[in-house]
A and B are shown apart, each in its own frame.
Chain A
Amino acid sequence: MNRRTQAFAVGITGLALTLSACGGGTGGSSESDGGGKVDSIKLVAAEYSDKTQGFWDAFAKTYQEKTGIKLDVQVVSWDDIDQQSSTMIQNGNPPDILNLNAYASYAQDDLLYSADDVLSPEVKSDLLPNFVTSGTYEGKLYGMPDLSSARALFYNKDLFKDAGIKAAPTTWDEFAADAKKIADLGDGVAGYAEPMGPEEAQAEFSIWMFNNGGNWKTDGKWSINSAANVETLSFLKKLADDGVTQNNPGKTNRTDGAFADFAAGKAGMVVGFSPLAGTLDESKKVDYGVAPMPTNNGDEPKSYGVTDYLMAFKKDGNADAIKAFYDLYYQPDQVNTFIKDEGFLPVTQSGVEKFSSDEKLKVYLDTLTGVQLTPTDDPKWDTVKLAVQQKIGAAVGKDGDPQAVLDDLQKQAESGN
């Protein structure tokens, strides 16, 4: 009898312990007693390369030495980060700082601190103005840029020589003619590697769009199916129809498709950015040049820029810790080390000055102040971007209809709120 009650008691205790452990697990953020100040904050960062973890670990150490607050770092691959962040918010347990390529939906959901709460004025005034603009939602800066990239036309010098091309094309007509000459060399070489597959089709389309005077939004209204944009997409389709691109551009991704082709010397041209240059320099297989994009309307060449964001989630008592985080991150020796490690471009004036001595980065830095970005300040863009990724590839396929695809995307962008 005694044994039975004993066993029962053990069982109940076990159950209780397990349940309370579960409860503790979902609580997450560790708030210390008393003044409502946190003693640790959590950063969820995107993995740009295998150097990312190392940087943030070192950063966390410095941060803790300076502030006495622990910084938990979780580095997540780009493939998983949308899913992970969404799950954390679903469970009511967001990180304190999240590094992502979008922020406007989070600002719309009123989850974020604005720069007014957590960014020192000196830091804010050092940020490049076009990144401040893209990080501003309804008049307040929510998306603090962590790094940036700008794109340009990469060309294979050997293939250019074989095809008898003297200089990089500056107009679309020249571009199409040069691509044809390279494709005519045969041996499975493509004139232009055109990645319109789901990985990053919006980037490929953006840079061509900008160089034809088009844009995603014009004067605050969606202009996806504008005449200029239909012309741009038709041009990209014609390149595919004429057989001067790689096989099936609507189903080619950037990283393992277009970049891989170019790096293997199988493509004459590709739109690339500094990390691609890093890869090419390392393998030394392809002798390449970098030139501004060709344009179709006689304007100055435009570059397409991307910046990712470090956004801060509102939670009790974490404002000071977050402010200290940003103060440290935007110290020139932190932010610029990170950017240099990853092979990207600066987001601050002081960064541009620091990097301007680097010959290799000059071609991008020159474009950086005038770089055009996608409308990341509109929460709707967060879904339009996905629709573009999943749909625009079909437009450059054999039976693709650029007008119909862009009309469809325009409709999608205008629907709902």
Chain B
Amino acid sequence: MTDQLDASAGAAAPPAAPVARSPRFRRRRHESGYASGLSAIPWLIAPIVLIAGVVVYPAIALVQASLSDYSITGLRRGSAGFDNYIDIFQHDDLGLVLWNTLVWVVVVVALTILFGLGLAQFMSKEFRGRTVMRWAIIIPWAASLVITARLFTLILDYEHGILNQMLVTLHIIGEPIDFLGNDSWVMPSMILVGVFVSLPFTAYVLLAGLNAIPQDLIEAARMDGASPWRIYRHITLPLLRPAMLVASVLNLIYVFNSFPLIYTLNDRNPGFTHDTSITYSYKLAFKAAERSVGMSAAMGVINVLLILVVVMIYLRIIRWREVTQA
């Protein structure tokens, strides 16, 4: 029904628009002068220089580095051709690292969106202390990731961790759990922290989405006798989709690039057992026996391509659904 409305409005608009707009444009042109391409240049200089310096130059440098052979000191010895890429693809731990990355990104983003939906719903309600709660939710986001991660190593530690002390005292577990050292607990613990720090932003994006849903639609559904769950599924969720799209794409990139959390929470574990592709890339350059800036840069290029492809596939899927559902 909405589609039809949109279509008819769209069809009606074109003939009307030129008539309505042209006089206004003409008037403005006289008031403020005609903006030519050339006089726009001074205004564009700053952003262009910024983009060139912050995006283009580092990208070129990264690709150059990935094609170079470096000494452990950082001295460039010469060109390496594609050797760094070959070394990466032949690396014993690459499969494990990519698997960790997949688990990390998918689970953290999925759980974040799920809990974010609940939290946003909660925040949208009127109740006493709502402002306090909204502030409280922002804090984990405002805190530096390294500090948050350090705090969690203190909470989750085997010997001194508060969580273990609490669980043992309450007799929920008999023995403390090595959350950050036991191989089957490390990833779940990191995911917990990952969700914790991604929630605030997600909840706020979804809250904004919720607030944008016209109340009369929900009211109308309620008058028609729809149950709250039905209203949520058939009105709220579909209308939240743009907000969810934004939240999930930004989270995909944010979680994928989450270096400080994994690096800090995983710092006691030797090897690459719990690394994602971002910390793997860093360790290749500075912490592992490879000590190779070139290999690290190659992994950096692969990382960029990986996240680009993932986001593009994701957007494709979303759009495809929209088309099929309409």
Contacts and interface: CB of A to CB of B under 8 A. Distances in A.
B269 A251 contact: yes
B270 A383 contact: no
Nearest to B33: A3
A394 interface: yes
A279 to B, nearest CB: 16
A120 interface: no
B42 A383 contact: no
Given A14-B45, A251-B270, A198 B74 contact: no
Interface string A311-335: 0000000000000000000000000
A386 B75 contact: no
B38 interface: yes
B234 interface: no
Nearest to A393: B270
B51 interface: no
Contacts of B270: 197-198, 201, 250-251, 389-394
Contacts of B178: 247-248, 251
A198 B41 contact: no
B267 interface: yes
A251 B73 contact: no
Given A18-B49, A22-B53, A201-B270, A86 B289 contact: no
Contacts of A90: 65, 70, 74-76, 293
B45 A15 contact: yes
Interface in A241-286: 246-248, 250-253, 256-257, 260-261, 264, 266
A199 B176 CA distance: 24
Contact of B286 (A83, A199, A253): A83
B179 to A, nearest CB: 11
A395 to B, nearest CB: 10
Contacts of B71: 105, 108-109
Interface stretch (A4-12, A142-150, A223-231): A4-12
Given A4-B39, A7-B41, A15-B45, A197 B293 contact: no
B67 to A, nearest CB: 14
B42 to A, nearest CB: 4
B288 A386 contact: yes
Contacts of B53: 22
A257 B53 CA distance: 42
Given A11-B45, A386-B287, A386-B289, A105 B73 contact: yes
Contacts of B73: 85-86, 89, 105-106, 109, 111
Contact of B268 (A82, A251, A264): A251
Interface string B21-51: 0000000000000001011011001000100
B152 to A, nearest CB: 13
A247 B176 CA distance: 10
Contacts of B182: 248
Contacts of B72: 105, 379, 382-383
Interface in B280-326: 285-291, 293
Contacts of A15: 45, 49
Interface residues of B, number: 38
Contact of A198 (B49, B70, B267): B267
B36 to A, nearest CB: 6
A384 interface: yes
Given A11-B42, A14-B45, A412-B289, A391 B159 contact: no
B181 interface: yes
Nearest to B289: A387
A381 B150 CA distance: 31
Interface string A269-309: 00000000000000000000000000000000000000000
A79 to B, nearest CB: 9
Contact of B160 (A87, A105, A264): A264
Nearest to B292: A383
Contacts of A106: 73
B33 to A, nearest CB: 9
Given A247-B181, A390-B289, A392-B270, A11 B41 contact: yes
A248 B153 CA distance: 15
B95 interface: no
A88 interface: yes
Given A383-B290, A391-B271, 9 more contacts: A198-B267, A199-B268, A251-B180, A260-B159, A379-B72, A386-B288, A390-B288, A392-B270, A393-B270
28 contacts: A4-B38, A11-B45, A18-B45, A82-B286, A83-B286, A86-B286, A86-B293, A108-B71, A111-B73, A188-B159, A197-B269, A198-B268, A198-B269, A198-B287, A199-B268, A246-B159, A248-B158, A248-B178, A260-B159, A264-B160, A382-B72, A383-B289, A384-B289, A387-B288, A390-B271, A390-B288, A391-B270, A394-B270
In order of increasing CB-CB distance, the 4 nearest A-B pairs are A387-B289, A86-B74, A89-B74, A393-B270
